[in-house]
Amino acid sequence: MKKLVSIVIPAFNEEENLITIIDRIEKVFECLGYNFEIIIVDDGSSDNTINNLKNEIANKHHLYFIEFSRNFGHQAALMAGLNNANGDCVISMDADLQHPPEMLTQMLQKWEEGYEVVYTRRLPDPSLPFKKRKFSELFYKLLNSLSDVEIESGTADFRLLDKIVVKNLNQFKEMDPFVRGLVKLVGFKQFAIDYIPAERFKGSSKYSLAKMRRLALHGVTSLSIKPLYTAVYLGFFFSFLSLLYIPYILFAFYEGTEVSGWASLIMTVVFFGGLQLIILGFLGIYLGKMFMQAKNRPNYIIRSTNIK
C-alpha cells in the first residue's frame, strides 16, 4: 500500500501564488510512488485566495482547505494543518514558492532512510535587504542565547515531520505556539538540508521587521525562562558595580573633593529605571502568557473546511 504524504501550506493573501504551487507539487508527485494530499490553510485572507482555492478543489480530489474566521497568524495556521493532516509524514511549506517544491523528493528520500524530522536551512540570500539579513542573524543569536534549545540560523517552517512527531506536537496545548522551537524540543532523529531560497513568485512578503521582532520575542519567551535568570544576573552584576563606587566616595571625602553630582545622579537613576522596566517587562510577558493560557482559548477558529 502506498504511503500518504500530507503537504500543509499556510496562506495569507496568496491568490497569485496558490495555483502555481499546487501545480508544481503535483508535477513532483507524478514521479514519486506516494499518495498525497495538499492542505491549504487560509489565514483570514482579504483577497480571492479562498475563492480561487474552492474553484480549484472541484477538479482535484487530493486538495483540501481550512478557512479561518479571521487572521490568527502563521504559526496558528501551521498548527491547524498539523492537527488535520492524515499522512504518514507531513511537509510544511510557504505559499510564495521561496520553498522550492522540487526539494520534496530529497526530503522524502531522507525520511525513507529513517529520519523522523527533515528540516531545511536557508543559505544567506544576498538579494535580501541588508537590515533583514542582519536582523535574521541577530534573531537566531538572541533565540539561542536565551532559550533551552538551539535553532540553527536559516531554519524556518519548511520541513518534513514523521507522523509520530506530528502526533506528539498535537499533544502540546500551548497558547500561541512557536512551532520551529517545539520541533527541536521534541527531539527525534533529525537531518538538515541546506538550500538557496527561490525568488518570491508574486506578491510581497508578509513578514515585516516589526513582525520579525515580535516573533523573536515570542520565540524566546515561549521556549525558556532564561530571560528571568538573565534579569537576576543583571541585578547581581550592577549591585556589584555599585559596591565598587564606595572606595571612590571614601577617597573623595578624604581629599575633600566631593561635589554635588546632579548629572551623574540623574544618569544613574535613568539607567537603573530603564533596567527595572526591562525586567518588569519580562515578568509581565510571562504573567500575560500564563493569563492567556489559563483562559484555554483555541489558537484558531475554523469558518469552513472540506476535511471530513
Give tens-digit pLDDT for 4-28: 999 999 988 888 888 888 889 999 8
- If asked whether residues 243 and 121 sit together in one domain, one would say no
Report yes or no on whether pTM surpasses 0.75: no
Does 169 share its domain with 104?
Answer: yes
Report d(CA 22, CA 55) in Å as an integer: 13
Number of domains the chain is built from: 2
Domain range for residue 247? 226-295
Q: Would 212 be classed as within a structural domain?
A: no
One domain for residues 244 and 281: yes
Q: What is the CATH number of the domain that holds 24?
A: 3.90.550.10
Local confidence pLDDT in tens for the 308 residues of the chain: 788 999 999 988 888 888 888 889 999 898 888 899 999 999 888 888 888 888 888 778 889 999 998 888 888 899 999 999 999 999 999 888 888 888 899 999 999 999 999 988 887 766 666 666 666 667 667 666 666 667 677 777 889 999 999 999 888 887 777 787 788 888 889 998 888 876 655 555 555 556 666 666 666 666 665 666 666 666 666 666 665 665 666 666 666 655 566 446 655 665 666 667 667 766 766 776 676 666 677 888 899 888 88
Tens of pLDDT, residues 101-124: 888 999 999 999 999 999 888 877
Residues 158, 53, single domain; the answer is yes
Structural domain contains residue 218: no
Residues 174 and 242 in one domain: no
